[in-house]
Amino acid sequence: MSSAKLFPFVAIVGQERMKLALVLNIINPTLSGVLIRGEKGTGKSTAVRALAHILPKIEVVDECPFQLPQGDPQGVCPECPRLDCSRRVMAGEPVPTVQREIRVVELPVGATEDRVVGTLDLEQALKKGEKRVEPGLLAAAHRNILYVDEVNLLDDHVVDVLLDSAAMGVNTIEREGVSFSHPAQFTLIGTMNPEEGELRPQLLDRFGLCVHVEGLRDVERRVEIMERRAAFDINPDGFTALWAEASQKLVERIETARTLYPQVTVDRSILFHIASYCLEVGVDGHRADIIMLKAAKTIAAYEGRTSVERQDVDIAAELVLPHRLRRRPFMDIMESSSEVQRGITGPKG
């Protein structure tokens, strides 16, 4: 994808919570993805593609359907449909690799479970007695970004499969009594327009983070959006060059945060603060506590710190809790977000 056709991520006006949620999931894919709710034309898909473009390239085995790096078969190669490559790997021989950009793998609304998960090549099994897999979109998404537009219109079972894989980092294909697993560690990004229907609460809860986006209400900011877009359309290369330094700084900050994250420590008082938060706003279960802890640690790493502070928990609460609150009839996530905001100064435990 050419940089001349991608609006720079750092040049997007406003939508700071959305941009932060995306960056946090890139730093720490175990956050289980982000759901972006809101009206059309607010820069959702632009932000996703632009962020993928500026990220460092990854090494993959040339044409590997599972996006694996050199010397990392993970038990997948014996069943790979690329027989020439799998034989070389199993024999310990080197295979050609390429450096390429992070990809945004898009999942169409009408995708079937077999298209998403993958299936077994039954013809190969019946004729030759060999187990061969036909990888799905989750294989293509490994080490990449899986982008699901209008996720609320997908079949609930397909959404369940996506969220399971996002949480576990593994996809399992089970057909005709045969089971096969492959790595599926990806950044899951779902978008939806609430006017077209909501996700069931059980599925909402499975998304790690959730942000609500809407058009900016400030006249000057809206004018700034028009001016930047007009400048980009006239001279994409020149406009991108103006933001190149800021883009590189963001990439370096993300890479530093990835390295720093395992070193981040959490004082026990912070754990009590998180637990008090979740009890105060009345969320069900314990998933919110765990995701808040991960999010707060990721925020600390992004800020260049090795210890979590209370402000990290406050920011994490705005991303983790609103879509998990027990909502009254006709209460939407925007109102839930307001309740979380009011609770930020509440829990002190």
Give the list of residues 6+ apart from residue 299 with CB closer than 8 angstroms, or none.
24, 308, 312, 315, 316
**Nearest in space to 81 (alpha carbons), one of 188, 185, 173, 163:** 173
Environment class of residue 197 by beta-carbon count within 10 Å: exposed (0-12), middle (13-18) or buried (19+)? Answer: exposed
Residues 114, 120, 124: CA angle, nearest 5 degrees: 145
Catalytic residues: 287
CA distances from 28 to 4, 31, 66, 127, 282 (A): 29, 6, 20, 44, 26
**Nearest in space to 208 (alpha carbons), one of 296, 137, 275:** 296
Residues 234, 236, 241: CA angle, nearest 5 degrees: 125
d(CA 318, CA 313): 9
CA distances from 347 to 100, 128, 271, 292, 324 (A): 46, 64, 12, 14, 17
